[in-house]
Amino acid sequence: MFAEITSSVSPEERLAYARFVSESPAACYFQEPDWPDYAPKAGRTDYLHCTVRDDTGALRLYGLLRRTRLAGGLWIGAFRRGPVTATPDDLTETLPPLLTAIRKEGCLTLTMNPRWEDDEADRATARLDALGIGVASEDRQTLHDHTGLVDVRRTPDELSKSFSPNHRRQVKQAHKKGYLVTDDPGPDPGPTLSRFLGVLEDRRNFSLAGAPSGPGQIAHAQAKGGIVAGVWRNGERIGLFTGLRDANRILFMAGGWQDPDAAFPRSPLILDYLVSRTAGGALPGVDFVDVGGLSPEDAPDEETSRDRVKMRVSPRRVRLVQVHEIDLRPALAGAVRNARPLLRKLRR
């Protein structure tokens, strides 16, 4: 096994890596080689392309590694929903040479959570644990480890019948009051979405650090076959949101609103639109709508109560791999860990 790390790739390599990612059941938009084109920009953060090949030259692992630079040529790294392999078992052979190469490049500590589901997530977790890559602390669990997938390979009528009566009633009442979701985002959707999201962050003390900007979300959705939609009332645009293409899924990103405090069923309207818009193969290659995270079933009631709106569209609950972490330079990594609050500010 031979590992290689580079900051840039040729167009041919980018296509090859994108194909490898797309063919894996663990594919995720965070691991697509062109994700840096859409990702939020930060002065100390950039991306590295990591590969592992076997003795025949066949690609066995691809990972897009987010690097946050520190002083002295050192850095911390994160494979968000990665790295990608063909099977969870491939992690056993491919990660050791990759970890060695990453350490030589100056990495202090590394996190990863390849996007395997359910039983395969358990297998991936076992492989990581066996390599000494343990589950990270609670404050490092920055990506959800449970979500819900609505199977949209059904007709709109079949899907509607699977929704709860409460969901259908809320959507119907909203329509009667003049609320409408359409594929018309209105003028200047990118800057408008950024402005709406900024209002959301200010009013709700809600952080979207790590999420693409409004223009970044719009560009990704348009380039990858995702969804850009506007929420209207009586001809006035009151909201914008995107559904990002994530392998064979559409993933709901945060909606931006003219007035985040306005009282109307925004989440039911958005989920209903995403499901109806993709039902029955209406969006080629999309099999599921990802509701954007759920709490574990054994979570406290105050956490699971927040999932009630999402559960009304009858998603299948899915377990994902938790964020795992390994210190590649333990002594220095410990010092950095104590300074993480500052590092988070530097990433923004």
- The pLDDT, as a whole number, for residue 307 is 85
- The pLDDT, as a whole number, for residue 207 is 66
Structure tokens at 138: 């609670």
- The pLDDT, as a whole number, for residue 284 is 93
Listed in order, strand segments (DSSP E) in 22-112 are: 45-53, 59-69, 75-79, 84-85, 107-112
Is the model's pLDDT at 342 over the cut of 70?
no
Q: How would residue 341 be classed by pLDDT, with cut points 50, 70 and 90?
A: low
Q: How far is CA 304 from the centre of its chain?
A: 20
- Separation of alpha carbons 288 and 152, rounded Å: 5
Is the model's pLDDT at 14 over the cut of 90?
yes
Which CATH entry fits the domain spanning 147-319: 3.40.630.30, 3.50.50.60, 3.90.1150.10, 1.10.8.60? 3.40.630.30
Q: Is 291 left (phi over 0), alpha (psi -120 to 50) or beta?
A: alpha
Q: What is the mean pLDDT of residues 114-133?
A: 98
Is the model's pLDDT at 347 over the cut of 60?
no
- 28, 62 contact by CB (below 8 A): no
Render pLDDT for 239-250 as a digit per residue (tens, 0 to 9): 999 999 999 999
pTM of the model: 0.90
2-143+320-347 and 147-319 share one CATH topology? yes
Chain-wide mean pLDDT for the chain? 90
Q: Pairing relation of β-strands 59-69 and 2-6?
A: unpaired
- Separation of alpha carbons 170 and 43, rounded Å: 44
| pLDDT over 70, % of the chain | 92
The residue extents of the domains of the chain are: 2-143+320-347, 147-319
Render pLDDT for 272-288 as a digit per residue (tens, 0 to 9): 999 999 999 899 999 99
Render pLDDT for 140-177 as a digit per residue (tens, 0 to 9): 888 999 999 999 999 999 999 999 999 999 999 999 99
Which CATH entry fits the domain spanning 2-143+320-347: 3.40.470.10, 2.130.10.30, 3.40.630.30, 3.10.580.10? 3.40.630.30
- The pLDDT, as a whole number, for residue 15 is 97
- The pLDDT, as a whole number, for residue 339 is 67
Render pLDDT for 297-316 as a digit per residue (tens, 0 to 9): 766 666 666 788 899 999 99
- The pLDDT, as a whole number, for residue 199 is 78
Is the model's pLDDT at 39 over the cut of 90?
no
